[in-house]
Amino acid sequence: MCIRDSTVTTLNTAEGTDIVNINDASGLLTVNTEQHDDVVNVRATGLGSEVRINGHEGLDTINLSDASPAVPSDYPAVLPPPAADTVGNIDSIDGLIVIDGGSEYDQVNVDDSANNNAKAGTLTAATLRGLDLPAGVDYSNLEDVNVWLGTGTDVLFIDSTHAGTTQVFGGDGNDTTNERDDTIAINTIAGVTTIHGQAGNDFIEANVDSPVLPQDGSFGSLEPITGFFVRTHVNGLAAVLNVHGEGDSDQVALNFAGEGGALVNVLDKGAPNDGVDSLIINGADVVPGVNNQPDDTFLSVSYTHLTLPTKRIV
Mean pLDDT of 243-250: 89
Tens-digit pLDDT profile for residues 208-242: 999 999 999 999 889 999 999 999 988 999 999 99
The per-residue pLDDT for 261 is 82
301 pLDDT band, cuts 50/70/90, is very low
Tens-place pLDDT, residues 84-118: 999 999 999 999 999 999 888 999 999 999 999 99
Each domain of the chain, given as residue ranges in start order, spans: 2-313
Q: 22 pLDDT exceeds 80?
A: yes
- How large a percentage of the chain has pLDDT more than 90? 65
How far apart (Å, rounded) are the C-alpha atoms in residues 86 and 96? Answer: 24
Lowest mean pLDDT among 42-46, 54-58, 256-260, 282-286: 282-286
Q: What is the mean pLDDT of the chain?
A: 87
pLDDT of amino acid 272 = 76
pLDDT band at 286 (very low <50, low <70, confident <90, very high): low
Banded pLDDT at 305 (limits 50, 70, 90): very low
Kindly list the strands in the beta sheet with 311-313, ordered across the sheet, starting from the edge strand earlier in the chain. 19-22, 39-42, 60-64, 106-111, 144-148, 165-169, 193-196, 241-244, 264-267, 311-313
pLDDT tens column, 137-148: 999 999 999 999
Report the greatest alpha carbon distance in the chain: 65
pLDDT above 60: residue 302: no
Model confidence pLDDT, tens digit, residues 146-163: 999 999 999 999 999 999
pLDDT of residue 287: 58
pLDDT at 120 over 50: yes
What region, left, alpha or beta, does residue 222 occupy, with left being phi > 0 and alpha being psi -120 to 50 degrees?
alpha
Residue 309 pLDDT level (bands cut at 50, 70, 90): very low
Burial per residue of 279-302, b for 16 or more beta-carbon CB atoms within 10 angstroms, e otherwise: bbbbebeeeeeeeeeeeeeeeeee
pTM of the model: 0.88
Task: State how far the Cα of 54 lies from the Cα of 39, in Å rounded to an integer.
Answer: 11
**Mean of the pLDDT values across residues 59-64?**
95
Q: Is 292 a residue whose pLDDT tops 50?
A: no
Rounded average pLDDT over 257-282: 84
Q: pLDDT: is 229 or 261 the higher one?
A: 229
pLDDT greater than 80 at residue 204: yes
In the predicted structure, residue 269 carries a pLDDT above the cut 80: no
